Amino acid sequence: MSSASLQAQTLRNSPHEWHVLSGGAGPTILFLHGAGANAASFHALMERLTGSYQVIAPDLPGHGGTRQGARNRSGLEAMAEDIASLVSQRFQAPLLIVGHSAGAAIALRLSKLLSPRGLVLINPALDPFDGVAGWAFPVMARGLSVAPFSGDLLAGLFGRERRIVELLNATGSAVTPEMTSRYLKLAQNPHHIRGTLAMMAAWDVSGLRAGLADYACATTVVVARSDRTILPDAQETAVQKLPNAALVHLEGGHLVHEEAPERLAKVILKAAAKTGENSA
């Protein structure tokens, strides 16, 4: 499909002004990116599905082009509630929800609110921080997220191509010039930096992790073998607690959906076919 098959739109749905990437027609697949990314990280993957599905991907609150209407809506529960409201009022109920990293945790929580037929979780971030990082990092992020000019300061610190390349390479993924350009643009956006910090400051998956056995939705978990952001062993340990989960291993790093969209598209099509709604 050509890039023209996807369109960006701005939608006002309380409490936020959402930037949403969408296209195609048919049963709906909802995509949720991780912290620090935006909907465009799914662009190549979504294009491969528009022939059979309507695909939608919002920028998370405070990320990319989505403007937060409330500062206290950056945590897991609040984000899930606000995305559920957006989807319920603006789109048809999703057949599948696809989430990457922290977006996978949101996808799990959304399965209780939107009742999809299935989930696809890509390198899911389902563990809380351990040890000192468990309190020090969220506190630091919380302070920076509300400090004057912190977004501008960090945009200046991280918004440099060499630093972005280092950060992307640390994920274990094969980095392309297009990926570098897109993440550099995000890192140079103070609004996006503040939104990412606010999400990290409010992030708490301890309740979700403790209740994984209660999530019975049919789930495909994609684990990239070279992921250096969330180690495969940690992901597999969490997956074992999901009662209806199938594990798929792929070559690649944490950003495998950007490295190999054609392989992820096949995984998603297979998961969709299993629902019985569409055998595309």
Rounded to the nearest 10 degrees, what angle do helices 190-202 and 150-158 cross at? 100
Q: Which residue in this structure is represented by tokens 């392309």?
A: 176
Q: In this structure, what token pair is assigned to residue 261?
A: 């969209």
Q: In this structure, what token pair is assigned to residue 174?
A: 């094969």
- Over range 3-9, report the average pLDDT: 81
What's the pLDDT at 238?
A: 83
Question: Which domains are delineated in the chain?
Answer: 3-126+207-274 (3.40.50.1820)
As a whole number of angstroms, the distance between CA 231 and CA 253 comes to 10
On the question of pLDDT at 88 being above 90, the answer is yes
- Over range 59-82, report the average pLDDT: 94
Question: Could you say which DSSP state residue 30 is in?
Answer: E
Of 85-89, 180-184, 268-272, give the lowest mean pLDDT range.
180-184
- Over range 138-164, report the average pLDDT: 62
On the question of pLDDT at 138 being above 60, the answer is no
What's the pLDDT at 212?
A: 95
pLDDT tens digits, one per residue of 154-167: 665 666 788 888 88
- Higher confidence at residue 212 or residue 133? 212
pTM, rounded to two decimals = 0.91
- Over range 258-262, report the average pLDDT: 97
What's the pLDDT at 278?
A: 42
* pLDDT band, very low/low/confident/very high, at 142 (cuts 50, 70, 90): low
On the question of pLDDT at 251 being above 90, the answer is yes
What's the pLDDT at 136?
A: 52
- Higher confidence at residue 64 or residue 134? 64
Number of H helices, E strands in the chain: 12, 8
pLDDT tens digits, one per residue of 98-114: 999 999 999 999 999 99
